[in-house]
Amino acid sequence: MIVTLLDIIIAGLLLGGLYALIAMGLSLQYGVARVLNISHGEFIMLGGLTTWTLHTVFGINPLVCLAICGPLAFALGYVIHRTLFRRLLTSSASPGAFESNSMLASFGLLFIIQNLASIAWGPEIRGYSYLAVPVNLAGALFGANRLVTLGFAIAIGLAFYLFVARTRLGKAIRAAAQDPTTAGLMGVNINNVLALCFGFGAAMAGIAGMLISMCYPVNVTMGLEYTIIAIIVVVLGGLGSIPGSFIGGFILGLIGSIVSFVDPGLSLAAYYLIFILLLVVRPTGIMGK
C-alpha cells in the first residue's frame, strides 16, 4: 500500500515537472505579453519533432538538442511577437480587445504551424528510445529519461525564477507585467521586453517538447492537448503568476497520477472537471490576487 502510494506520488511529480515547464511558458506569454497563446502546444510539437529529426537522422544526443531547440523556439517566438502581435497591439482599441484579437490570431498561428509541420513531417507517430533504463526509487521503478526530464524542468524553472527575481531585465519584465504603459514611461523598452517574454515562453515550450520526445512518442497533432493542459495549469495557479504555474503544474500532475490509478480513461475528463470547478468557484487561481 505504501509503495503504491509512493508510486503514485513519484509518477505524479514526474508528470508535474513537464506540466510546470509548459505552463510557465504560457504564463509568461499571458501574464506579461497578454497573449493567451493557443498555439503554445505547437511550439512543443516543433521542439519534439526537431529533436526526433536531429536524434534519428543526425545522431545528435537529445540533451544537446536543448541548445538547438531552445534558441530556435526563442527566435521564432520573438519574431512572431515583433511582427504579428506588435501590430495587433497598436491596432487594438483597448487591452480587452487586444486579448481577444491576439487569442484569435494565435488560433491562426496554430493552424499555420501545425499544417506546415504536417507537410514537413507527415502524420506518423515518431518515437525513439533514449536513456530508457529503469531506476529504482524507493521500491518503485522509473525510467531514467523521466527523471532527467523532471530534473531539467525543475532546473529551468528555478533558473528562470532567479532571472526574473534578481536581474535588471527580470525587473523590467515584472514592471511590464504590472503596468506596461507606466513601465514604458520609466524607461523600459516595452516592445523589446514583451517580445522577449513571448520568446522565452516559446523557448520553454520548445525545451518541453524536446523533453517530451525523450519519454513519449510525438506527432504533429500532439500540440493542442498540451496547450489545454497548460491553460488548465495556468488558471489553477492564477493567470499571470509564474510561481503559481510552477506549483500548479505539480498539483495537476499529482491529480492526474491519482486519477489514472483509479481509471486511466478519466484523467483528461478529471482535468477539465477541476478546470471548470476552478473557473466557477475561484477564477483567480491558487496564487491569484
Partner 1 sequence: MNTITLGLKKWWIPGLLLVILVLLASLRFYVSTYTVILATAILMYIILTESWVLFSGPTGYISLAPAAFFGVGIYTAAILGMHLPLPVVVVIGGLASSCLALLVGALTLRLRGIYFAIFTFGLVEFMKHLLLWYEIKFTGTRGRFVVLVDNNTIYYMMLAILVVLLLTTYLIRRSKYGLALRSIGEDEEAAAHTGVNVTAVKVITFAISASFMGAAGAIIATRWTYVDPYIAFDPLFSFMPVLMAIFGGMGQFYGPILGAAAFAYLEEVLITKFPYYYMLLFGVILLITILYLPNGLVGLIQRLQKGGWGRRHANT
Binding positions for partner 1, rule: CB under 8 A: 36, 84, 87-88, 91, 93, 96-97, 99-101, 103-105, 107-112, 114-116, 118-119, 224, 228, 231-232, 235, 263, 265-266, 268-269, 272-273, 275-276, 279-280, 283
Q: Which of 71, 87 has the CB closer to partner 1?
A: 87
CA-to-CA dists, residue 233 to 81, 114, 117, 164, 202, angstroms: 23, 23, 26, 20, 17
Kindly give, in sequence order, each residue whose CB lies less than 8 Å from that of residue 264, ignoring residues fewer than 6 positions away: none
**Identity of the residue numbered 167:** T
- Angle, CA 279 vertex, CA 251 and CA 109 arms, to 5°: 85
Nearer CB in complex with partner 1: 1/119: 119
Shortest reach from residue 97's CB to partner 1, in Å: 6
| DSSP letter assigned to residue 83 | I
- Decide: 44 and 209 in contact? Cβ < 8 Å: yes
Residue 218: phi, psi to the nearest 5? -120, 150
Question: Minimum CB separation from partner 1 for residue 229, in Å?
Answer: 10
Q: How far is the CB of 71 from partner 1 (least distance, A)?
A: 25
Complex with partner 1: residue 74 or 271, whichever CB lies closer: 271
- Closest separation between CB of residue 283 and partner 1, Å? 6
Query: Nearer Cβ to partner 1, position 63 or 228?
Result: 228
Smaller CB distance to partner 1: residue 104 or 165? 104
CB of 137 to partner 1, least distance (A): 30
What is the sign of the dihedral through the CA atoms of 240, 242, 243 and 244?
Answer: positive
Q: How far is the CB of 200 from partner 1 (least distance, A)?
A: 21
Q: Nearer to partner 1 by C-beta: 7 or 42?
A: 42
3-state secondary structure 48-71: HHHHHHHHHHHCCCHHHHHHHHHH
Are residues 85 and 35 in contact, defined by beta-carbon separation less than 8 angstroms?
Answer: yes
- Owner of C-alpha cell 507517430: 125
